[in-house]
């Protein structure tokens, strides 16, 4: 079996050869903006390690995929109503100027993180550690899929400060990438730590509380009864303190074990992590095919098989939940119709069953028209009625005036984007902002005609319970 020191030695040999080839290509190119070297790992890593500094992890246990990024080769931020349009303009220019070399022919490409907050406001909450929207190319990317794994080393081009010769450029790139690989390679093959005793958690504050929640639901139902709204999604924030500092690596591992069918996401910047375990894709665009998840309508899980089946059958037959689900399906169809062909919607929703809840789910497929890219689709689809309400702008306006918390990146979205502007973006649900021994958890519930404040509160409790369970083992 190869040990990490031997793997590092192999990587260093190929790094030298790869940099030589990559820089020759860059010099021959008219104006590359990024250069990336893709090196196959001879052994699959044990996971995506947590290191100091800025990093992100996108891990899906059932799919066996990892995309992680460490450090920063290039970063673009934007805010305001045109935030995605501005990032799209930059990304399209970058796409044509991204020079990649797959030295070992592994077939795994470079990627960037694309993410954005729930609202387009220029100023995120003062306590937030994330910008409003972000396109982030890591200095070192880790990509694992289909039983293969690779490291992707990237640098902005031309180099700064400008080298005075090809040899100086070579040494600059080698020095940067060797320094980045130093702590990462051994961490890729660390043994997975065993479980800890469950930590104690103390609730510090909850906003809104149960009484305010009930008043918010009543106010929303009044708007719905007046015909101004069809649906609005209300959110809660729960702050907790643990008996020890939370270990984000253990937290991600616990979430992957508890919710293997969910996308587990970690965005670490400025000393804090935003963590999500989300079942909902905003979109997946690959090979000219688009897939979108419509998820709305929720029921609890039960300890016995018989009771669990009863709850599932009741959810599938519930007029109220089916109506809530239809709002989401119709909104997605309306968003895609002007820019997509062959939109395929299931005749009826199916069940998506997680450990702590079960949802009505309709996977929707379509073929985007020529020239329609991931940014345009994301702008059309976000926010869906599953996280905002219906009609979209009226729900946004109502929440701005009535919801007592700022969501930040909760109900925003994050995922990966390739140099060809394809990729996969997930809605940020079942979230927590984690720093030291403190965590801020978020959850929400959709309000439509027939909703009951106590039932919707219980739904948010179950959703918060997902992250609380994982935090106890972090």
Q: Torsion over CA of 82, 84, 85 and 91, rounded to 10 degrees?
A: 150
Same domain flag for 173 and 25: yes
Evaluate whether 361 touches 349 at the Cβ level (below 8 Å): yes
153 and 94, same domain (yes or no)? yes
| Averaged pLDDT for residues 59-84 | 95
Are 36 and 111 in the same domain?
yes
Does the pLDDT value for residue 10 go beyond 80? yes
Nearest CA to 446 out of 347, 277, 278, 320 is that of 320
> What is the pLDDT at residue 186?
93
**Residue 232 scores a pLDDT above 90:** yes
Q: How is 193-244 classified by DSSP, letter by letter? A: PPPPPPPPEEEEEEES-HHHHHHHHHHHHHHHHTTS-SEEEEEEEEEEEESS
74, 117: one domain: yes
Are 211 and 184 contained in the same domain? no
- Identify each DSSP E strand in 103-176 by its residue range: 112-116, 133-137, 140-145, 148-156
pLDDT of 326 > 60? The answer is: yes
Among 188, 219, 244, residue at a domain's last position: 188
Quote the pLDDT of residue 128.
62
Query: Are 152 and 226 part of one and the same domain?
Result: no
464 is a domain residue: yes
Asked if residue 389 has a cis previous peptide bond (ω within 30° of 0), the answer is no
**Strand extents, DSSP E, 318-437:** 340-344, 350-353, 358-368, 389-390, 413-417, 423-427, 431-435
The pLDDT value recorded for residue 471 is 96
Per-residue pLDDT at 357:
87
Residue 48 has pLDDT above 90, yes or no: yes
Which of residues 158, 188, 218 is at a domain's end? 188
* Interatomic CA distance for residues 262 and 386, integer angstroms: 17
Give the integer Cα–Cα distance in Å for 327 and 384. 9
The answer to whether residue 219 sits within a structural domain is yes
Q: For residue 60, tell me if it sits in a domain.
A: yes
| Residue 194 belongs to some domain of the structure | no
Specify the number of domains making up the chain: 2
Quote the percentage of the chain above a pLDDT of 70.
98
- Kindly report, residue by residue over 153-195, the tens digit of the pLDDT: 999 988 888 888 888 988 999 999 999 999 999 999 988 877 7
Q: If 0-12 CB within 10 Å is exposed, 13-18 middle and 19+ buried, where does residue 167 land?
A: exposed
> What pLDDT is recorded for position 377?
97
195 located within any domain:
no
Q: Is residue 267 within 8 Å of 346, Cβ to Cβ?
A: no
- Full residue range of the structural domain in which residue 259 is found: 205-471
* pLDDT for 28 beyond 90: no
Q: Are residues 350 and 252 in the same domain?
A: yes
pTM for the model: 0.94
401 and 370 co-located in one domain = yes
What angle separates helix 83-95 from helix 374-381, to the nearest 10 degrees?
160
Tokens of 406: 């700022």
pLDDT value, residue 302: 87
Residues 237 and 142 in one domain: no
In a shared domain, residues 327 and 467: yes
**φ and ψ of 391, to 5 deg:** -65, 155
Residue 316 lies in a domain: yes
DSSP helix/strand/coil, 463: helix
CATH value at residue 337? 3.60.120.10
Cβ neighbours of residue 461 closer than 8 Å, sequence gap 6 or more: none
245-286 pLDDT, tens digit each? 999 999 999 999 999 999 999 999 988 999 999 999 999 999
Q: How many CB atoms lie within 10 A of CB 461?
A: 16
Query: How do residues 117-153 score in pLDDT, each as one tens digit?
Result: 999 886 555 456 789 999 999 999 999 999 999 999 9
Same-domain pairing of 63 and 172 = yes
Residue 109 belongs to a domain: yes
**Residue that is last in its domain, among 188, 223, 243:** 188
Q: Establish if 198 belongs to a structural domain.
A: no
pLDDT digits (tens, 9 = 90+) for 357-413: 899 999 999 999 999 999 999 999 999 888 999 999 999 999 999 999 989 999 999
How high is the pLDDT of residue 123?
A: 59
**pLDDT tens-digit readout, 11-25:** 888 999 999 899 888
Q: Is the separation of the CB atoms in 155 and 178 below 8 Å?
A: no
Q: How far apart, in whole angstroms, are the C-alpha atoms of residue 415 and residue 428?
A: 10
**Per-residue pLDDT tens for 405-436?**
989 999 999 999 999 999 999 999 999 999 99
State whether 129 and 212 are in the same domain.
no
Any idea what the Cα angle at residue 458 is, between residues 456 and 461, rounded to 5°?
Answer: 115
């Amino acid at each position: 079996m190869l040990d990490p020191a031997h793997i590092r030695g192999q990587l260093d040999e190929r790094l030298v050869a790869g940099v030589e080839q990559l820089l020759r290509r860059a010099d021959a190119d008219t104006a590359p903006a990024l250069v990336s070297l893709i090196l196959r790992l001879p052994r699959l890593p044990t996971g995506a390690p947590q290191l100091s500094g800025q990093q992100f992890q996108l891990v899906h246990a059932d799919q066996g995929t990892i995309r992680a990024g460490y450090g920063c080769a290039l970063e673009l931020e934007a805010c305001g109503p045109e935030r995605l349009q501005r990032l799209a303009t930059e990304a399209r220019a970058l796409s044509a100027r991204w020079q990649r070399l797959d030295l070992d022919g592994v077939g795994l490409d470079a990627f960037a993180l694309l993410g954005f907050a729930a609202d387009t406001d220029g100023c995120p909450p003062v306590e937030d550690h994330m910008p409003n929207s972000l396109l982030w190319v890591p200095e070192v990317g880790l990509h694992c899929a289909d039983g293969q794994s690779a490291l992707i080393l990237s640098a902005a081009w031309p180099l700064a400060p400008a080298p005075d010769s090809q040899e100086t450029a070579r040494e600059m790139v080698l020095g940067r990438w060797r320094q980045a690989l130093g702590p990462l390679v051994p961490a890729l093959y660390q043994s997975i730590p065993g479980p800890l005793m469950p930590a104690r958690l103390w609730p510090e504050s909850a906003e809104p509380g149960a009484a305010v929640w009930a008043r918010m639901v009543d106010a929303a139902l009044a708007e719905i009864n007046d015909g101004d709204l069809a649906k609005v999604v209300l959110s809660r924030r729960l702050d907790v303190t643990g008996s020890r500092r939370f270990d984000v690596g253990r937290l991600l591992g616990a979430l992957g074990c508890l919710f293997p069918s969910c996308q587990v996401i970690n965005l670490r910047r400025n000393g804090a992590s935003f963590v999500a375990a989300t079942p909902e894709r905003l979109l997946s665009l690959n090979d000219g095919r688009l897939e979108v998840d419509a998820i709305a309508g929720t029921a609890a899980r039960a300890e016995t098989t018989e009771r669990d089946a009863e709850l599932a059958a009741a959810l599938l037959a519930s007029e109220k939940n089916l109506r809530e689900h239809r709002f989401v399906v119709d909104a997605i169809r309306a968003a895609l119709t002007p820019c997509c062909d062959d939109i395929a919607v299931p005749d009826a929703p199916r069940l998506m069953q997680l450990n702590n809840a079960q949802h009505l789910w309709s996977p929707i497929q379509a073929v985007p028209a020529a020239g329609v890219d991931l940014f345009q689709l994301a702008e059309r689809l976000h926010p869906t009625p599953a996280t905002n309400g219906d009609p979209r702008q009226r729900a946004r306006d109502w929440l701005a005036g009535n919801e007592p918390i700022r969501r930040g990146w909760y109900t925003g979205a994050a995922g990966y984007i390739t140099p060809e502007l394809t990729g996969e973006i997930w809605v940020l649900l079942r979230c927590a902002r984690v720093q030291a021994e403190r965590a801020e958890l978020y959850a929400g519930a959709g309000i439509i005609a027939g909703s009951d404040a106590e039932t919707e509160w219980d739904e948010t409790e179950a959703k918060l319970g997902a992250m609380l369970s994982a935090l106890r083992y972090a």
